[in-house]
């Protein structure tokens, strides 16, 4: 492997080689995470309902997701007649591409950070907002009332829950004194202070709830509520268009759980196992909570969804941020 990297650097240059290797690694992570999460969610859902879940293809049904991907690749990419064709095609791409940037900001270990940005937290929220544009573009360009309503709901929901998500994150940023995600992890592992969830339990609870809503997961899956909107903003998307939206959703779930693990659970810090293993364990623990929410709580009405954000989570996160700032000032 080192010989191959050296040969590539000789042909392409160091910067381009590092970019290609990083891009390949992130693409592999996105694909493997999505395939694992689909299988994992099916298994957890079956466990909750007293079923077996996928069992036929591969050990414990592990090949079921791969076969689903092959099926999607074989479907005809139909574009409805009256859609805004250019926007319709670009929407899944716009929703998905920021995921590559967001994955590169996560600290998988002390030495494995693709982009160690000083303003990493701000970049997470900036590129997360760009992905929302793809969702709205898909709903607006479909020339379908259900898709348009799904897109409008997605925008209003994300605006509402972006605020408590940001405010809960800022409480940790104030405590750590930096916007760099890797440095926030280092603060938790140095000096014996412990992980931030011990000092910011309310911020962690708010973060998990808001992150679940940001990724349109049940019980906050209002933008794609099947009983009301068929499939919401991706109603008209067949084959790979639907698959790319699906891939983007699971990637953003991984990102928000990765940021949560870094901010509150010490990131890659832990005994015995290598750093990346601890990071993935914490990420998939938070993902498990998200999956359990789906089978624990009924879907909220839209007014209940908005009330939860504006009347409860935002005031609580503001109060928590002010108390944090006051304590830091006094100490």
Per the CB < 8 A criterion, the answer to whether 46 and 52 are in contact is: yes
- Distance (Å, whole) CA 312 – CA 305: 11
The reported pLDDT for the residue numbered 4 is 43
The tokens describing 321, both together, are: 């941020």
The reported pLDDT for the residue numbered 14 is 61
The tokens describing 306, both together, are: 């908005």
Q: Name the CA radius of gyration of the chain, rounded.
A: 21
Q: Could you tell me the pTM of the whole model? A: 0.88
Which SS3 state, helix, strand or coil, does residue 286 take?
helix
The reported pLDDT for the residue numbered 5 is 46
The reported pLDDT for the residue numbered 308 is 93
Query: What are the residue ranges spanned by the domains of the chain?
Result: 1-74, 84-330
Q: Is 6 exposed, middle or buried (0-12, 13-18, 19+ CB in 10 A)?
A: exposed
The tokens describing 169, both together, are: 């994150």
Least Cα distance to 149 among 86, 59, 233 occurs for: 233
Question: Cis omega before residue 219 (within 30°)?
Answer: yes
- Distance (Å, whole) CA 29 – CA 39: 15
For the chain, 331 residues long, give each residue's pLDDT as a single digit of tens. 455 445 444 555 565 666 677 667 777 778 888 888 888 888 888 888 888 877 777 788 878 878 877 887 777 777 777 888 888 888 888 888 888 788 888 888 887 777 787 888 999 988 888 888 888 888 888 888 888 888 888 888 998 999 999 999 999 999 888 899 989 988 888 755 678 888 899 999 999 999 999 888 878 888 777 776 776 777 788 777 778 888 888 888 999 999 999 999 988 887 888 888 899 999 999 999 998 998 888 888 888 999 999 999 999 999 999 999 999 888 7
Count CB-CB contacts under 10 A for residue 309.
Answer: 24
What are the phi and psi torsion angles at 228 (to 5°)? -115, -40
The tokens describing 238, both together, are: 């067949």
- Distance (Å, whole) CA 186 – CA 180: 10
- Distance (Å, whole) CA 262 – CA 276: 12
Per the CB < 8 A criterion, the answer to whether 204 and 260 are in contact is: yes
The tokens describing 174, both together, are: 């104030």
Q: How far, in whole angstroms, is CA 90 from its chain's centroid?
A: 20
Evaluate the CA torsion angle 222, 224, 229, 232 in order and state its sign.
positive
Which SS3 state, helix, strand or coil, does residue 182 take?
helix
Per the CB < 8 A criterion, the answer to whether 318 and 167 are in contact is: yes
Task: Work out the angle at residue 36's Cα, subtended by the Cα atoms of residues 31 and 39, and round it to the nearest 5 degrees.
Answer: 130
Count CB-CB contacts under 10 A for residue 77.
Answer: 10
């Amino acid at each position: 492997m080192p010989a191959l990297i050296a040969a590539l650097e000789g042909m392409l240059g160091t910067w381009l080689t590092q970019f290609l290797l990083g891009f390949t690694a992130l693409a592999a992570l996105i694909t493997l995470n999505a395939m694992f999460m689909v299988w994992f969610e099916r298994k957890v859902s079956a466990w909750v309902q007293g079923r077996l879940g996928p069992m036929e293809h591969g050990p414990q049904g592990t090949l079921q997701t791969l076969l689903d991907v092959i099926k999607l690749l074989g479907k005809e990419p139909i574009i409805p007649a009256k859609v805004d064709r250019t926007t319709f095609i670009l929407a899944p791409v716009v929703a998905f591409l920021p995921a590559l940037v967001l994955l590169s900001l996560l600290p998988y270990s002390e030495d494995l950070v693709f982009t160690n940005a000083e303003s990493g937290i701000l970049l997470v929220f900036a590129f997360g907002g760009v992905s929302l544009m793809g969702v709205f573009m898909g709903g607006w360009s479909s020339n379908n009332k259900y898709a348009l309503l799904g897109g409008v709901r997605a925008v209003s929901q994300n605006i509402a829950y972006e605020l408590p998500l940001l405010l809960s994150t800022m409480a940790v940023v104030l405590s750590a004194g930096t916007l760099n995600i890797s440095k926030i992890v280092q603060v938790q592992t140095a000096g014996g202070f412990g992980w931030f969830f011990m000092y910011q339990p309310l911020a962690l609870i708010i973060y998990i709830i808001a992150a679940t809503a940001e990724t349109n997961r049940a019980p906050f899956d209002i933008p794609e509520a099947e009983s009301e909107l068929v499939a919401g903003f991706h109603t008209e998307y067949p084959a790979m268009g639907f698959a790319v939206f699906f891939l983007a959703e699971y990637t953003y779930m991984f990102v928000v759980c990765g940021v949560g693990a870094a901010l509150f659970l010490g990131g890659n810090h832990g005994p015995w196992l290598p750093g990346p293993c601890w990071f993935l364990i914490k990420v998939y623990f938070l993902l498990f909570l998200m999956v359990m929410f789906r089978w624990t709580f009924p879907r909220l009405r839209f007014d209940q969804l908005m009330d939860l954000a504006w009347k409860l989570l935002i005031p609580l996160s503001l109060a928590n941020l002010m108390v944090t700032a006051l304590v830091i000032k006094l100490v």
